[in-house]
Copies of this chain bind each other. A is one copy, B any other.
């Protein structure tokens, strides 16, 4: 049985009654794999013409009315048995959690956890790691020729064979980020051979936002299609916020451990040490962080290359490391200790996201010497990580005008042996703060078409403030558009079926189907109802743009109805049909009262 077959309706396990499903237009369904505990979630859209369309689903158990979710308990650890069954990991006492993990070394009257509830109340657990520090990564398994349940899971999700998944991971062209301490995850894959993925950033800061808000933003982002979420918290309660997010997240969680390490030294970059950093990485790996941004490419000799830039270093991690290098006039401790870091990550299957600390922060600085010097180092680090069987992706810019975008992906693929590229936009102009989801959505679509595997979203608040719930949604939707546009342009198998289904619905005036198939059904329906609120308008054979008297789609339908679908017949019989058309009153639109 091919995977294609595995997704036919017959094998889709419908958890809800068919009637109930139809009434809301879509419902959560599962595609079963080779074992009962391997069930891949999909979004099943029921059309009014009796057909259904199966869409990729990132929303986790939250959209399954039969799933018993409780944010205080966390999601069920669906991968736990797979991990245990491999027999290559062990539970251990783990690193004790300390007050400073939450930035509480210097407790102020205003500091500290707001209330005791903030401590995650879910099931007690011990961290897990590879026995005797052995690599327990999907890369190691793939190289050994093993197809793990995680690989089968993503094969079903992507509608490809498990062997393709294994091959891409083994070659380093794709990563499957799954920390052994994040068993709650629904596995997904990041690689140019697969659907383009979208990451959403959340995170509290010293200035604003709370734990509750961040957990809410995570579930909200995945509801709209975020494939991974990065927790970029920088304020207090970093450890505890992350615990809540991880235990409730169905998608991989990424972090930048440097942010937390900096909090531990009260924001003094020069006080950072390898030991503090390493301790932070272990802390986060034990919690279950699936991928970590590591700015090991910001080397001492590259810092001066940024001196004549228009906007210097705009990456937080990049500037921390640059400040450290300058303060000590020493090579980066991340670069110097990279092999030891690889050993740690391999023992938990934490994936590297090698950070582009010197990415351009303005059109003027795009593709400059600093940026590409760092990229060459990332290529070198990628090869080291591979020796240690650590899955690796490479981060990319930033701010890049359209004509300089392709050079970024081409160079990255060449220098980094086709490791997955993970870009922030890029923003194609600097002049539109408050619309940088759009300035960057343009660049994101293009670079994804050319091979970028995952896009880090940008919200309307970029450069201006912290995104709220609406901004998160706008950012995710914009990036899902960019990703899907790229899937289409890459000719990803099956990608166009979604467009075709929606266009069919549009042409046939099946408004409800058009809404339900939309990336954002709620807003599409709301916009329609704003002009034509009445229920009958949703079955009308026109819309408010042209009105009932004249609709091009309607005329097209009439042409098709009058003249059939066969061109030869049309050409031959057109004169005759023309007469019939006239006989029928020559009406190309519905007569309406005026």
Question: A308 in the interface, Cβ–Cβ < 8 Å?
Answer: yes
Question: A434 in the interface, Cβ–Cβ < 8 Å?
Answer: yes
Majority SS at the chain A contact face: helix
Question: A67 in the interface, Cβ–Cβ < 8 Å?
Answer: no
Residues of B within 8 Å of A403, CB to CB, are 449, 488-491
Residues of B within 8 Å of A558, CB to CB, are 323
Contact residue among B301, B429, B499 (Cβ-Cβ distance under 8 Å from A431): B499
CB distance from A119 to the nearest CB of B (A): 22
Residues of B within 8 Å of A21, CB to CB, are none
The residue on B at minimum CB distance from A262 is B550
Q: Knowing A108-B594, A546-B205, A570-B307, say if A315 contacts B552 (CB, 8 Å).
A: yes
Residues of B within 8 Å of A361, CB to CB, are 503, 507, 553
Contact residue among B504, B506, B587 (Cβ-Cβ distance under 8 Å from A463): B506
Q: Which of A504-540 contact B (CB under 8 A)?
A: 504, 506-507, 514-515, 517-520, 523-524, 526-528, 530-532
Verify A478–B435 contact, CB threshold 8 A. Answer: yes
Question: A432 in the interface, Cβ–Cβ < 8 Å?
Answer: yes
CB distance from A258 to the nearest CB of B (A): 11
Residues of B within 8 Å of A581, CB to CB, are 326-327
Chain A 453-478 near chain B by CB (<8 Å), digits 1 or 0: 00000001111111010000000011
Tier of interface size on chain A:
35 or more
Q: Knowing A326-B563, A402-B449, A556-B319, say if A310 contacts B507 (CB, 8 Å).
A: yes
Q: Knowing A323-B588, A445-B402, A463-B506, say if A559 contacts B311 (CB, 8 Å).
A: no
Question: A78 in the interface, Cβ–Cβ < 8 Å?
Answer: no
Number of copies: 2
CB distance from A317 to the nearest CB of B (A): 8
The residue on B at minimum CB distance from A491 is B403
Chain A residues at the B interface, C-beta cutoff of 8 Å: 106, 108, 110-111, 205-208, 234-235, 262, 267-271, 301, 303-316, 318-320, 322-323, 326-329, 361-364, 401-403, 428-435, 437-439, 441-442, 445-446, 449, 460-466, 468, 477-478, 480-482, 484-486, 488-491, 496, 498-500, 502-504, 506-507, 514-515, 517-520, 523-524, 526-528, 530-532, 543-550, 552-553, 555-560, 562-567, 570-571, 574-575, 577-578, 581-582, 586-589, 594
Given contacts A307-B570, A432-B520, 14 further A-B pairs with CB under 8 A are A207-B531, A304-B571, A309-B556, A311-B507, A326-B578, A364-B500, A402-B485, A402-B489, A429-B484, A432-B481, A433-B515, A435-B481, A438-B441, A465-B527
